[in-house]
Amino acid sequence: MAERPDSFYLFLILIPVVYISLKRYVRGKRDLNAIGGKWRSRLLMDVFFVKWFFSSLLFVLFSVSVILALVEFSGSGRKMVEPSSGVDIVFSVDISRSMTASDISPSRLQRSGDLISALVENLTGERFGLTVFKGEGMKIIPITEDSLAVSSVLPYLSPDMFTSSGSSLEAGITTGINSFTQGEERKRILIIFTDGESLSGTLFSLSENIVENDITVIFIGTGTVDGIELLTAGGAPVLDKQGEIVISRLNRLLLQGLAAQDSIYYLDISDSAVLSDVLEVIDRQMESLVVRDLRESKYRIFLSAAVLFIILYIVVRIFPWKNTF
Residues (pLDDT < 50) of the chain are 81, 324-325
User: Positive or negative, the Cα torsion across 118, 134, 202, 128?
Assistant: negative
pLDDT on residue 232: 78
Query: Is 282 within the bounds of a domain?
Result: yes
Is the same domain home to 85 and 173?
Answer: yes
256 and 110 in a common domain: yes
Q: Look at the chain and report how many structural domains it folds into.
A: 2
Asked if residue 324 belongs to a domain, the reply is no
Task: Find, among 127, 96, 89, the residue nearest to 218 by Cα.
Answer: 89
Report the distance separating Cα 298 and Cα 117, nearest Å: 47
Same domain, 103 and 174: yes
Residue 258, in any domain of the structure: yes
The predicted model scores a pTM of: 0.64
* 163 and 242 in a common domain: yes
Same-domain check for residues 32 and 139? no
**Are 63 and 90 in a shared domain?**
no
CATH number at residue 229: 3.40.50.410
Whether residues 168 and 313 fall in one domain: no
Instruction: Based on the fold, state whether residues 124 and 219 are members of the same structural domain.
Output: yes
Containing structural domain, residue 45: 5-75+296-318
Tell me what pLDDT residue 244 has.
87
**Who contacts 191 (Cβ-Cβ below 8 Å, separation ≥6)?**
89, 90, 91, 92, 116, 119, 217, 218, 220, 278
Task: Report how far apart, in Å, the C-alpha atoms of 90 and of each of 5, 181, 191, 215, 230 are.
Answer: 30, 11, 6, 10, 28
pLDDT in the model for residue 163: 77
Residue 85 lies in a domain: yes
Same domain, 260 and 139: yes
User: Residue length, the chain?
Assistant: 325
Position 179, amino acid: S
Q: What is the dihedral of CA 31, 36, 40, 44, to 10 degrees?
A: -30
Q: Is residue 206 part of a domain?
A: yes
Return the pLDDT at 81.
47
Do 69 and 214 reside in the same domain of the chain? no
Dist. CA 128–CA 180, nearest whole Å: 9
Q: Do 28 and 146 have their domain in common?
A: no
Assigned domain for 325 exists: no
Residue 323 lies in a domain: no
Do 129 and 268 have their domain in common?
Answer: yes
pLDDT at 237: 85
* pLDDT score recorded for residue 324: 47
